[in-house]
Chains A and B, each alone.
Chain A
Amino acid sequence: MNENLILRLTVEDLLIREAHLLDSWQLAEWLTLYTNDAHYYVPPNDVDGDTADPDTSLFYVMDDRKRMEERVVRLGKVGAHSEHPRSKVRHLVTNVQAARENDIVRARASFIVSRAKDITHDLFVGHYLYDLVERDGALKISKKTCVLDMEALRPHARISIIL
């Protein structure tokens, strides 16, 4: 099989695993897919999410590894009211593309994330931008940017789950 195809399948495998961990609320395991210097971003709707800079523009989410860990700790508590009881989550990940760029693998994918809780059911639609690096022979995520292809977070109100 050609190398590009193998790369894409390897990345897809990782993204499918990530989706499964998020859907089943195995958040501590989810963190193991990320490097120790990883970042997780969700830019707002009125900027170009592919190029927006979290150092100069307000985002919805701009987590470094430390805050990702704290996010997971928080979501495990009863006091994280928005996710207690937990919502039903389903990540659909598709249209995966991947290419090597020196030591980094850059990947893109489309997503629909469904969140259902009580009387609300919301869909988050957008695309992922991933940076992946080799660590101990396996691909790890060093950056994940979730660009929402939506005009606003309406009626969603919150991104209390991990996209």
Chain B
Amino acid sequence: MDARIISEPSQNKFLVPRKAFTDQAVFEREYAEIFNKCWLYLGHASELPEPGSFLTRKVARRPILFNRDRHGEFHALFNACPHRGAMVCRERHGKSPAFMCMYHGWTFGSDGHLMTLPGAAGYPKDFKTDPQKQMVHVPRLDRIGDFFFLNFSHDGEDLATYLADAGDYLNLVSEHSESGMAVTGGTQEYAIRGNWKLLAENSVDGYHAACTHSTYLEYLKNANGALGATPLEGGGIDLNNGHAVIEYSAPWGRPVASWVPLWGEEGKTEIDGIYGKLQKRLGEKRADRLAHKNRNMIIFPNLVVNDIMAITVRTFFPTAPDYLEVNAWSLAPVEESDWLRKYRLFNFTEFLGPGGFATPDDVEAIEKCQQGYAVGGDAKYNDISKGLAREGEPSFDDEMQMRAFWTEWDRRLSAAED
């Protein structure tokens, strides 16, 4: 493959070929080597609250039925009828002990087994138990805490190994709550006319904030009492296997658990209470980190978990080199009080998502990159070298975390050639 990165740290050089964003062959190879082999985020346990709960979702272009059987066990099934291939479940979510294909009426249990089919007399006696006539389970389904991942490949490393140091960061998100985290309901579902890796980069890019989001930062200054005195500072951490995080302090409030003047004295009492419980449960050091640090994390290839003024879980898949589809959820402690929940959601929408004060400008940047790549010719590479020349730890606004992503991307795609 001629779309290789150029990494020469001793020369302070890290270049990414623009062909990686535009080439159809690269796109096909990404599906074969990355999306069909990596662990991909499927959903959160709280989205399936009870036995019989189900939801349908596309993961890496494939329709998936994610559900719980009557014993409460979780299943991930390819949502296609073994008979003629029609999508079996056509609803987005709900509760059902069985799923009937609308085409010929084959009906499946929540574990995918064929329960009944009309006109059974026309088939041999053991037809119904033929393994080929059952809905197919996704090869591998595993969880870390309440985060479920699937893998379309039968072999390869297990989830814990794959997640490497990112696993503990996911645990940290779960530890916001003593009784469990839950998706708040309401999904932001949008698309961007750009390559999916542009969003991966953008999600952990501390460098672009000052310019791309100048209007958001100015807005924060005007929002009386919304900002504390904490400075914006921190660093990037390589979590291995292509995962990376920036962990930093910031002046905005966090429902768990950094107070800002806007919340008043009553709010301070509640935040202090939450923090006190965190200290008891997790110890001084971890509680301090959880409550007072922000984290923007990319889990290779396409899961972003931002634990900032709210928690967003975001996944995205390409359908073409220049088009991606995003799903973003908000995650919150189950026991959260009404006013904090309200504040959390209010805060989430201020910055994040299609109607926020920041995401639309990220979209603009991504789409303008994609359009810019059309110049082709001699302008072949993007520069991702910021911070290579720095002595000591990487800053949160360096590009180390993007280099971690790209190095893994390059490793997986080039290994396929050997």
Which residues from chain A sit less than 8 Å from chain B, CB to CB?
42-47, 52, 54-62, 66-67, 70-71, 73-74, 77, 79-83, 118-120, 151-160
Q: Are A158 and B363 in contact (CB under 8 A)?
A: yes
Q: Are B191 and A62 in contact (CB under 8 A)?
A: no
A83 to B360, CA, bound (A): 9
Some 28 contacts from A to B, beta carbons below 8 A apart, are A44-B189, A45-B189, A47-B185, A55-B338, A55-B345, A56-B341, A57-B185, A57-B186, A58-B184, A58-B188, A59-B355, A60-B354, A67-B350, A70-B357, A73-B222, A77-B214, A79-B214, A81-B364, A82-B363, A118-B371, A153-B189, A156-B354, A157-B192, A157-B193, A157-B354, A158-B354, A158-B363, A159-B354
Most A Cβ at <10 Å: residue of B186, B216, B325, B364: B186
Q: Are A153 and B345 in contact (CB under 8 A)?
A: no
Distance in Å from the Cβ of B59 to the closest Cβ of chain A? 15
Distance in Å from the Cβ of B35 to the closest Cβ of chain A? 19
Q: Are B184 and A155 in contact (CB under 8 A)?
A: no
Q: Are B222 and A70 in contact (CB under 8 A)?
A: yes
User: Is the contact region of chain A dominated by helix, strand, or loop, or is it mixed?
Assistant: loop
B355: which A residues are within 8 A, CB to CB? 42, 59-61, 158-159
Q: Are B361 and A60 in contact (CB under 8 A)?
A: no
* Interface range for B: 35 or more
Q: Are A158 and B186 in contact (CB under 8 A)?
A: no
Q: Are B191 and A56 in contact (CB under 8 A)?
A: no
Distance in Å from the Cβ of B182 to the closest Cβ of chain A? 11
B330: which A residues are within 8 A, CB to CB? 58
A13 to B330, CA, bound (A): 39
Using A77-B215, A79-B214, A82-B363 as known contacts, say yes or no to A156 and B191 having CB atoms under 8 A apart.
Answer: yes
Most A Cβ at <10 Å: residue of B212, B355, B371: B355
Q: Are B329 and A58 in contact (CB under 8 A)?
A: yes
Q: Are A59 and B345 in contact (CB under 8 A)?
A: yes
Q: Are B187 and A58 in contact (CB under 8 A)?
A: yes
Q: Are A44 and B341 in contact (CB under 8 A)?
A: no
Which residues from chain B sit less than 8 Å from chain A, CB to CB?
92, 184-193, 212, 214-216, 218-219, 222-223, 323, 325, 329-330, 338, 341-342, 345-346, 348-350, 353-355, 357, 359-361, 363-365, 367, 371
A157 to B359, CA, bound (A): 9
A120 to B349, CA, bound (A): 24
Closest residue of B by beta carbon distance from A69: B222
Using A154-B191, A157-B354 as known contacts, say yes or no to A56 and B184 having CB atoms under 8 A apart.
Answer: yes
A60 to B212, CA, bound (A): 20
Q: A59: which of B186, B191, B192, B218 is its contact (CB, 8 Å)?
A: B186
Distance in Å from the Cβ of A149 to the closest Cβ of chain B? 14
B222: which A residues are within 8 A, CB to CB? 70, 73
Distance in Å from the Cβ of B43 to the closest Cβ of chain A? 13
Using A70-B222, A74-B215, A159-B354 as known contacts, say yes or no to A62 and B189 having CB atoms under 8 A apart.
Answer: no
Q: A152: which of B184, B185, B190, B193 is its contact (CB, 8 Å)?
A: B190
A96 to B222, CA, bound (A): 37
Q: Are B92 and A157 in contact (CB under 8 A)?
A: no
A79: which B residues are within 8 A, CB to CB? 214-215, 218, 361
A28 to B127, CA, bound (A): 70
Q: Are A82 and B360 in contact (CB under 8 A)?
A: yes
A57 to B344, CA, bound (A): 10
A43 to B186, CA, bound (A): 8
A71: which B residues are within 8 A, CB to CB? 357
A154 to B354, CA, bound (A): 11
B214: which A residues are within 8 A, CB to CB? 77, 79
Closest residue of A by beta carbon distance from B310: A58
- Sorted nearest first, the 10 A-B pairs with minimum C-beta distance are A58-B186, A61-B355, A57-B186, A82-B360, A152-B189, A60-B355, A153-B190, A158-B360, A154-B191, A160-B360
